[in-house]
Amino acid sequence: MRSAIVLGGGMVGVGTALHLQSRGWSVALVDRREPGRETSYGNAGIIQSEAVRPYAMPHDLGGILDIALARTNDVHYSLAALPYHMRPLLQYWWNSFPERHEVLTKTYAQLISRAAPEHEPLITAAGAGNLVRRDGFRVLHRNQAQFDKEAKDAEAVGKAFGVKFKLLSAAELAKAEPGLNESGIGGLHWQEPWTVSDPGSLVTSYAELFVRRGGKLLRGDATTLSQVGSGWAVVTDEGRIEAEAAVVSLGPWSPTFLKRFGYDIPMVRKRGYHRHYTGGAPLDLPLRDAAFGYLMNPMAKGVRITTGAELSEPDAELTPVQLGKAEAAARQLIDLGKPVEPEPWLGTRPCMPDMLPVVGETARHKGLWLHFGHGHQGFTLGPATGRILAELMSGEAPSVDVAACAPARFGA
C-alpha cells in the first residue's frame, strides 16, 4: 500500500487526504491543531461557483488611486509593509492585465466548476448536510456606476460560463431580506453558490470522515519533516512516522516552510478579519455590501462580518480598520446586535502572484508534493484540487489540466 503524510489540516489538506485515501493510500494527516482551526475557519463560509474569474488588481488610474488613497475598504495597507509585499504584488499586477488574466481564467474556471461536485459526496458521507444551504448569496449596491459594472460583468460570466444570477430592484431586495433597514439602489442574487453556517465544523466533519475510513489524524510539527532514504518522515505526538510521499498543504505558511528545501516561492499574504454579532435582526442569506468591501453571513454563532484584504507585516498587531468601517456600514443596513467575541479573528489568505494554486510535485525532491495558494478560495476548492493532486500522485490523468498550476513555474 502506498503511503503519504499530509501536512496541514485545513480544507485543502483534508480534501487531499480524503482523495488519496479513496485511491488506496495509507494517509497520515498532521497538524499542530485540530482540523479547520486556521484559515479554513475564518472565511466567509461560501462554496463559490460564480467566482469563475480570479480577482484582478485594477489597472485604471481611478482604481489604483482608490486603493492608494484609502478611498475603498476592499484593501487596507501599511506603508511600512509594502517593501515586504512588493515583489509578489508587482507579479500579481502584471498577471492582472486583461490578456494574461484571460489565459489564467481558463484554468481557474475549470477548477471552480469542480468545486461543488467534489464537496457534494463529502457532505453526504460526513452527514454534514445541516451545515449547508444551496440558495446562493446576495449583493447590495449603493452606487449606480458600481451596480452597472457588476451587472455587466455578471452578464458576461453568465454568457461565457452559464453562471446563474438575478438582478434585484431595491424593492425586491427589501422583500427578500425584510430585516434590512434599507436596501440601497438594488442588488444581485448569485443563485448557485452554497453557504455554510460553520466553516470550521464542515472541515472537522470531513476530517472525522477521514478517520472513520481508517485515516490517521495526528498532532505534529511540520518543521520536523525530513527526507529519509526514498521517503519522508515527520515527528508527531505519537512518535516519528514515515511515508513514501509528503504533501505540503500549509496555506500561507508554505513558502516559509519550503525555504528549508531551497525553494523560494512568492506569495501575496492577505490578512483578513471576521467577527460575529448576535441579538439583532435576522438575515436570510449572506449579503455582500459592495460599496464597503465586506460580507455578512448568518452563521451558527451569529452574523459573521468578513473583511477584504489587509497588507501588513507578517507579525503585525491586529489593525481591524476594515472591520470597523464594515461594522459601521452594516449597522446602517441592519440591526446587527452585539459582538460575540471580545476581539476580532485574524487570519491570512495565501494568494499566488498568478492567482492559481500550486498543485504538483517539486522538481528536486522526489515524493514532495505541494498543494496550497488558493487565495480566497481554499474553502471552495480544497476537495476539487485535492482530487487532482491525488490523481497526479497516483499516476492517473488529472480530471482538470493543471499544468499552469505546477510548482515548476516558481522554480519548485
pLDDT at residue 403 in the model:
96
Give backbone dihedrals phi and psi of 230, rounded to 5 degrees, phi first: -100, 10
Average pLDDT over residues 27-48: 89
The predicted pLDDT at position 114 comes to 97
Burial of 214 (0-12, 13-18, 19+ CB in 10 A): exposed
Closest CA to 320 of 294, 352, 286, 281: 294
Distance CA 295, CA 306 (A): 5
**Contact (CB, 8 A) for 308 and 74:** yes
> What mean pLDDT do residues 160-179 have?
97
d(CA 261, CA 412) in angstroms, rounded, equals 10
Q: Does 33 score more than 90 pLDDT?
A: no
Contact residues for 343 (Cβ-Cβ < 8 A; gap 6+):
318
Q: Is the pLDDT of residue 36 over 80?
A: no
For residue 397, name the pLDDT band (cuts at 50, 70, 90). very high
Q: Kindly write down the DSSP assignment for every residue of 11-78, as one continuous string.
A: HHHHHHHHHHHHTT-EEEEEESSSTT-STTTSS--EE-SS--S------SHHHHHHHHTT--SSEEE-
pLDDT band, very low/low/confident/very high, at 72 (cuts 50, 70, 90): confident
Identify the CATH class of 1-56+96-132+197-267+352-412: alpha beta
Q: Distance between CA atoms of 250 and 6, rounded to whole angstroms?
A: 9
pLDDT score at 22: 98
pLDDT at 350 over 90: yes
**Domain ranges within the chain, ordered by starting residue:** 1-56+96-132+197-267+352-412
Span 242-263, average pLDDT: 97
Q: Structure pTM?
A: 0.95
CA atoms of 137 and 189, how far apart (whole Å): 6
Does an H or E element contain 109, and which? helix 98-126
Report yes or no: 33 and 250 within 8 Å, Cβ to Cβ: no
- Supply the pLDDT for residue 314: 83
Q: Does the pLDDT at position 68 exceed 80?
A: no
Q: Percentage of the chain with pLDDT > 70?
A: 100
Q: How far is CA 217 from CA 6, 69, 117, 123, 384, in A?
A: 10, 47, 25, 19, 21
pLDDT-based confidence at residue 356 (cuts at 50, 70, 90): very high
**Average pLDDT score over residue span 364-386:** 97
State the pLDDT at residue 332: 96
The answer for residues whose C-beta is within 8 angstroms of residue 24's C-beta and 6 or more apart is: 1, 2
User: How confident is the model over 6-18, as a mean pLDDT?
Assistant: 97
Instruction: Give the pLDDT confidence score for residue 124 in this predicted structure.
Output: 98
Tell the burial category of 124 from Cβ atoms under 10 Å away from its Cβ (0-12, 13-18, 19+). exposed
Q: Which residues of 297-313 are buried (b: 16+ CB within 10 A; e: fewer)?
A: bbbeebbbbbbbbbbbe
